[in-house]
Each structure stands twice: as structure tokens, then as C-alpha cells.
Structure 1
Amino acid sequence: MSSVDLAALREIRSQVGDLLEKGIIPFWDERATDQSEGGYLTDFGADGRCQNTAHDKYLVTQARMVWAFSMFAEHVGSGSLGDRLRDAARQGVGFLRENFWDPVHGGWRWSTRRDGSPLDSAKIMYGQTFAIYGLSAFSGVTGDEQALAWAEETFDLFQVAASDLVHGGYVENFSEDWRPEGTVKTLDTHLHLMEAYTALANVSGSHIHRRRLQEVVTLICTHLVDPVSGAGRNQTAADFTPQPPVPVARTWNVERADGQVAATDTTSYGHNLELIWLLGKAGEVLGSPIAPELRAKLGDHALRYGVDWQYGGVFREGPHSGTATDQDKEWWEQAEALVGLLDLYELTGNREALSAFVSVWNFCLQYLIDRDTGEWRTRVNRTGMPLDSTLGSVWKGPYHSGRSALETLARLDRIIETWESTSSTGES
């Protein structure tokens, strides 16, 4: 590990800013809005061209696109580009409400065809959470009260239809009419519930939204992180008893290119690092720091087992203790690792986290970020060989890549400012 100095952070800050403003935002601004049917196109090949004219639309990605265009508009500010990004978000909200909302049973369908006609009307909590997230972001950026009302309506539905009143937390998978399908609970879904409730509570200021946010935070810290190893539990039974993972339909693990699901209980380094900073964000909204020791433990585990100190990047997953068993590197783990590692440094002052951040960034810049477009490839192997070079899909939009850039810039600005104020060299 090499020492990280102020000049290195300034250089990365410049690279991340350029990536966002000259790459990611223009890539999706120019391609994503479906001019003929509404909503968003997401299937883009390695060359950046649309590769699927049928273009089914998933709730998770359509809602994430609303979030991304809203936050890009806030980043850009006023002017023609900002107006265009807000318009892109606004039409996405309209497409969601018109085509994904189930007027009979309530809630949001999992998928539609390109024209918005229903394809899969199951109610999947993973996707439902992003409806709240996207609508809250749009309302926060534009002041749109109707979008906030729809987010609140979705939240209220969760409490009636999806709350597990016996064990706590939420049932995750339902049929069209909200009949439960399976009992598995996951860190993935509850992590994103926390993320959605954080966004909603931040915009609404409602006591009940803050209360439910606190409940999900407590549940995650109590049941979904192993207190011994500091590793997140991928799956549990309904009562939060840890169990080996089983394939669950309508998940990225099942639908990605190879569809492999680990045969033994594993942890996701990407989720663990993402959890560090999302817990921090929840704490900001709730007004007090959340579980600093647990967050530090999640980071220590990732530094020990998840970071590839030889080639750079973060491995996909591995056991709670020991060497990573899946050493491929997907875009989303790397994107979340960048933010989580910076949060870990700000939380603990551990310079190893900064060294890991630089290592992950350099790996991404060399192997995952497409130099022609600025968007991220989907997956490479440990040494950076492409395994899936597509730039967009029904699972992949600018949510991870764009959000990582926005959050990384904010943290780098804070760290650089602190270093500049204490030392001309950045050495403390």
C-alpha cells in the first residue's frame, strides 16, 4: 500500500468530476428517454448503442432513472441542461404512475413491455422501495407535491401489506394481489428500504417516516450483520435465522449473465461497504450518528477480505471469514466501494481505507469505465478481463455509477478541504 497524498486526491477529484459531467450525465441524457413510448430505454451494448428494440421495462430501473435524472438536474443547476434533465425525470414519473401503478391492488408492477402494458404484475419489495426513492428525489429537487404524495401512499401500503408483524421487518415477495410468495429476508431489500425511508423522511419531515426509518436501521444492525465477523448476512429466514442462500426470482443474482448463486452462506463486500455510508446518511436524517462501531467493523472486514490488494477493485463475495470465493468484479460493487471506503476513512481516520479507495478507483478507471462513453461496463474478472461489456440493461442504469460520482465528489471535497486547512502537504 502506498501513502495517499493531497495531490492524488485532487487528481482523482478532477477525474471523477469529468467522468460525471462529460461521461455519465451526457450518456444517459442523450440516450435514455424513450421518445416514442415514454419512460426510459436502458439496454445499451458495449458500443453505447441500443441493443434491444423490444425493451421491456423494469420497475427497479425505471424508478432509479427518475432518481438519477432528478439528482443530475440538482447537480447541474439552472440552464438548458438542468431543465432538460428535470423534464426527463418528470416524464419518467408520469410513465411510472400511468403504467406501473396497479389501480386495483395497489403497489407497483415489477415490469412492463416497452409501451407500458403489464408484463409481470408481481409486487416485489426490492422494486417498490425504488419507487419511493425516485419519487422522493424528484419531489425534493422540484418541489412536486404529487410525487411526494405517491411516495407516501406507497409507504402507507407497505405498513399494511408487507410488514411482518410477528418477526419484524418486511415480507419481500408477493403476487399481484399481495399474497406472500416465500419467506426469505435479505440484507439487500432491507438496505434499500432504509435508503428509501431515508430519502422520504428527509423530504417529508414526517414523524412516522422517521420512526419507521429508525426501526429498519435497528433491524439491520441487530439481525442482518454478523456481530462476530462484521459481515452482512445475504439471506435469512423469516425470523432472521441465518440460512444458506437460495435462488430468488426477479433478482440480479439470478438474472445476470451466468446466474450463479453461492451454495454456502456468503457476504457481499459491495453491500457491506454500501451499508457503511447508507447508515451514515440515515443518521444525518435522524439527527444522530448510527452504529459507528458496527460501520467500522463492516469496513475492517471489507479491507481484510474484500479489497483485492494485488490487482485493485473489490471482489464480489465470499465467506464471513476467509478468502473471497467469487473474485469477479461488477460495476455496482466497485461504485459503492468508492463511497463506502471514503466514509470509512472519515469515520475512523484509517489511512488504509484511503489506500483501498485509490486502488479501487484506479482499477475502475483502467478496466470498468468505458473511455469512449464514460459509462461503466457491467462485469470483469479479477484481472480486468471483460466478462460483460454492456453499458446498460434492465438492471443497469446510472444509479450506481452516477450516485457514486456524486457522493464521491462530496466526500473528496470535504477531505481535501480538511487536509488543505491543516497542512500544505495533506499529511496529518
Structure 2
Amino acid sequence: MDPAPLATFKAELITELSDILNWWMTHTVDEEHGGFYGKVDNDNIANPQAEKGLVLNARILYTFSSAYLLNSKKAYLAIAHRAFDYLTTYFLDSEYGGFYWAVDFTGKPSASRKQVYGQAFVIYALAEYIKIASNEKALALAKITFELLEQYSFDPVNTGYIEALSRTWGALEDLRLSDKDRNEKKSMNTHLHVIEAYTNLYSIWPDDKLKKAIKRLLSNFKNHIIDKSNCHLQLFFAENWEVRSNTFSFGHDIEAAWLLQESATVLKDEEETETFQKLALQLTRAATKSLAEDGGLWEEEAHWWPQAEAMVGFLNAWQNSADIRYLQQSVQSWSFIKRHLKNDKGEWHWGVHRDYTLMAGQDKAGFWKCPYHNGRACIEIIKRLSA
């Protein structure tokens, strides 16, 4: 095939990554109270008194560490150091271990629960940071947090991980990740990001116990989370893996497609790698049910993060199958982003309605709006096309 379109795709994403990260360095650094603002609105105006979320800070640490690993820009390393310092100074629970779910703008804990999704993102970020900083404290914290999840969240009877625990790692009645979620013991979303985190940690710490945990998680996806009848991910479960939901998340389908394959590949397990290459194509095909002619991956609206994951997921499907249509769809996903979600220079908008008007009242940076999906998509595609 003509390599020129691939070179253009890569060049555009190199520029886009720089624009995204420059926006975060310009608009989110909290000089007065440390770390990063908890909220920046669609007009780039920060709320200096907004609550600061664990996921936002961990994802900043991950993304800037990953970007520095890609291109060695010293400004990215400085932001990664800043994120690590803030996480370990204010979010780290020095008494009971693990990390608080949220702190107020001064750094005092405002939600001390141990949401497993959040602990996973800390492990994911610390592992990436260790690749650029060789930080003994970071490695020790990543290992300790892994052990805490295995001790308190892992279900030894049914396998899998309980959604959330109290500050002291005790049981909670309300386990929900957000108000939009069901109050169930287990979820696809948490398991996807636990295996993502464990995989990144294994890449720098190939521990046997960690390897067994990843293999169990791959089994959880094969046997419980991926619906064998349609290859969509099932979203919520009781403790015994009884399904407690009947809706789909197309963005998670295509995100899981490449992340699960990566987990099997990092383990260097040929059988699992072959299995999850096949499942990656099946999950990708399932996600295409929400594709529109405009190239967008739609649910009720078109949010920013499924479009980012679609770019990577479709490129991965092309690499697995050599089917040029998947590459074309990856490029079309990028075209949709440029038309409808990308700011002139900087962080993407949250999403658009069916008539392509921007979703009002949403953040550019916030508790859930981070540089992780779009930054990682740029980095992942740059690396894959470079190879």
C-alpha cells in the first residue's frame, strides 16, 4: 500500500500529542495549592477550589511519563515528577495504605474510600513512571498497592475483584464508581483497568504472583465478561459472576480489544496471545455496530474517549488481520475527531450531540476528563506506525 497516508497520519498525531500536552501544562497546573486544578471548563477557565480526583492525577502521571518515554522532552518529565509528588504527598494513605479517592483543593482527603478502579490507575501510572525515573519509592508503592488489592479486593472463592472498600479496607454498602453505575460487587470497567495496570507493572516487575493474577483476569474475561453470544462486554455482575446488566459500552468493547491482547502478549503466552488476537477482532466487530457513516463511534452522543480508543482498536485490528478497511476506519475516527471534538490547539471537547453541537456544561479537565485516552491513543499509534 501507499505509505504516504500512514506518514501523514503519524505526523498529525505527533503534532496533536504536543498540542494536547501543552494545553495541560498551560491550563491545569495549580501553582497556589500544588498539583493540578480539579476542574477546567470548556472555556479554559480553572476552578481553583474544585475537588481533585485520584483518577485525574494518576492519569496525568501516566500520560506525561509515557510521553517522555516517547520523545524525552524535559517539560514532560517535570510534569510527571509533579504528579508523582502530589500523589504521594496528598493522596497516599500513610496509615492504612492505598490512595484516597479524592482530596479537596488544599489536599485534605474528601473521599477516603479505596475504589479499586482508582488504585489500579495508580499502579498503571507508577509502572510507567518507573520506566523514566527508576524511582525505588514508586516501585515499592506499586508492589504494595498490588498486594493490598490481592489481600482485600480479590475474591478467593469466585475470583475477580470487589469494586470498592472503605478507607480501612472493610466492606462498603455503596460500591459504585459513579452515579451512573449500578451498585454491584463487580464490574467490567474495574476489571479492565486492573488487568491494564497489572500488565504494565509486569512489564517492569515480572513477578510470578502478578503473572498468575493476570492469567486469572484473562480467564475472567473469557469466561464471564465477554458475552459469547455477541462478543460485547457485559458490564455488571454479582459476586458469583451472575450478570446484572443488559446494556453495552461500545467504547469499552474496542478499548478491551487491544488492551486484553496486549496483556496476553506481555505475558509471552503464545496460546493466550493467539486466543486474544481472535477475540480482539471479534470485540472490534462488535463495536462497529455503533459506527456511523461520519466515522464516529456513537452511543446517545459521541464522547471523546471512545473515538480515541477506536483509533487504536481499529489500527490493532488492521495489524491482526491485514484488512485495509480497519486501517481506513482508524483514519476515519481521527477525521471525526478533527471535525467535531478537537479544539484548535489543545484538549478535546467532551463530546457532541447527534446534531454535532457541543455538549454544554462539560469539563475539558476534571474528575473524569484527563489526557489519558487521547494522549495514549496518539502515543500508541505513533509507536505502532514507527514500528
Task: Give the TM-score taking structure 1 as reference length.
Answer: 0.83
Amino acid at match of 1:307: L
Which residue matches 2:171? 180
2:331 maps to which residue?
358
**Structure 2: which amino acid aligns with 1:229?**
N
CA contact (8 A) 1:311 1:383 kept: no
Q: Which residue of 2 aligns with 1:75?
A: 70
Is residue 2:25 matched to residue 1:32? no
Q: Tell me the equivalent position of 1:234.
A: 235
Counterpart secondary structure, 2:376: helix
The answer (yes or no) to whether the contact 1:368–1:384 under 8 Å persists in 2 is no
Kindly provide the CA deviation profile for residues 11-41 of structure 1, in whole angstroms up to 9, marking residues without a partner as x.
22221111112x1121112233322222222
1:105 CA displacement: 2.4
CA drift at 1:178: 1.8
Are 1:408 and 2:365 an aligned pair?
Answer: no
Match of 1:253 in 2: none
- Name the SS of the counterpart of 1:391 in structure 2: strand
Please give the alpha-carbon distance, in whole angstroms, between the structure 2 residues aligned to 1:292 and 1:44. Answer: 39
Post-superposition offset of 1:9 = 2.7
Partner amino acid, structure 2, of 1:370: N
Q: Distance in 2 between matches of 1:280 and 1:32?
A: 33
Residue number in structure 1 paired with 2:61: 66
- AA paired with 2:194? L
Does the CA-based 8 Å contact 1:73-1:86 persist in structure 2? yes
Give the conservation status (yes or no) of the 8 Å contact 1:42–1:396.
no
1:143 to 125, 134, 137: 134
2:296 matched to 1:313? yes
Deviation at 1:140, TM superposition (A): 1.4
Q: Contact 2:185/2:239 (CA < 8 Å) preserved in 1?
A: yes
CA distance in 2 between partners of 1:338 and 1:220 (Å): 22
Q: 1:405 to 1:349 in 2, by over 3 A?
A: same
Amino acid corresponding to residue 211 of structure 2 in structure 1: R
TM-score by structure 2 length?
A: 0.92
Greater mean deviation of Cα atoms: 133-142 or 32-41: 32-41
Q: Which residue of 2 aligns with 1:14?
A: 11
Which residue is equivalent to 1:280?
Answer: 261
Partner-residue secondary structure (3-state), 2:363: coil
Are 2:85 and 1:90 equivalent residues in the alignment?
no
| CA distance 1:157–1:239, shift in 2 (3 Å) | same
Question: What is the match of residue 178 of structure 2?
Answer: none
Unaligned runs of 5+ residues in structure 1 are: 245-264, 317-325, 415-428
Contact 2:195 2:263 in 1 (8 A): yes
Query: Is the alpha carbon distance of 1:20 and 1:199 closer, same or farther for their aligned partners in structure 2, counting shifts above 3 Å?
Result: same
Give the AA of the match of 1:70. Answer: S
Instruction: Give the conservation status (yes or no) of the 8 Å contact 1:133–1:195.
Output: yes
1:59 and 1:111 in contact (8 A); partners too? yes
Following superposition of structure 1 onto structure 2, how do residues 22-421 of structure 1 map, counting pairs within 5 Å?
23-50=19-46, 52-77=47-72, 82-181=73-172, 182=175, 183-244=184-245, 265-288=246-269, 289=273, 290-303=275-288, 305-308=289-292, 310-316=293-299, 326=300, 328-371=301-344, 373-388=345-360, 390-414=363-387
Q: What SS does the corresponding residue of 1:130 show, helix, strand or coil?
A: helix
Find the residue that maps to 1:274 and give its secondary structure: helix
Question: Deviation at 1:282?
Answer: 1.1
Query: 1:5 Cα shift?
Result: 5.3
Q: CA deviation at 1:179?
A: 2.1
Q: Give, in angstroms, the shift of residue 383 of structure 1.
A: 4.2
Return 119-128 or 200-209, whichever deviates more: 200-209
Cα separation, 2, equivalents of 1:241 and 1:353: 34
2:354 and 2:228 mapped to 1: Cα distance?
A: 29
* 1:148 partner letter: L
User: 1:209-263 deviations in whole A, cap 9, x for unaligned?
Assistant: 222112112211221010110101111211111112xxxxxxxxxxxxxxxxxxx
CA distance in 1, matches of 2:2, 2:366: 37
| AA in 1 matched with 2:257 | I
Offset, 1:144: 0.9
- The secondary structure found in structure 1 opposite 2:204 is helix
CA distance in structure 2 between the aligned counterparts of 1:202 and 1:383, rounded to whole angstroms = 43
Counterpart AA for 1:315: W
Q: Corresponding residue for 2:180?
A: none
CA distance, structure 1, for counterparts of residue 2 and residue 234 of structure 2: 35
- Give the match's secondary structure for 1:119: strand
CA deviation vs aligned residue, 1:257-287 (integer Å, no higher than 9, x gap)? xxxxxxxx11111111111111122123101
CA contact (8 A) 2:44 2:364 kept: yes
Q: Deviations over 1:106-128 (max 9, x none)?
A: 22111001111010101101111
CA drift of 1:48 comes to 2.3
Conserved 8 A contact 2:347-2:364? yes
**1:348 CA displacement:** 1.7
CA distance in 2: counterparts of 1:356 and 1:84, whole angstroms? 33
The alignment covers a number of residue pairs equal to: 372
Distance 1:412 1:217 in 2: 27
> Percent of aligned positions with the same letter in both sequences?
29
C-alpha contact (below 8 Å) 2:52/2:102 kept by paired residues: yes
Which whole-Å CA distance do the structure 1 matches of 2:295 and 2:3 have between them?
Answer: 20
Distance of 1:124 and 1:59 partners within structure 2: 10
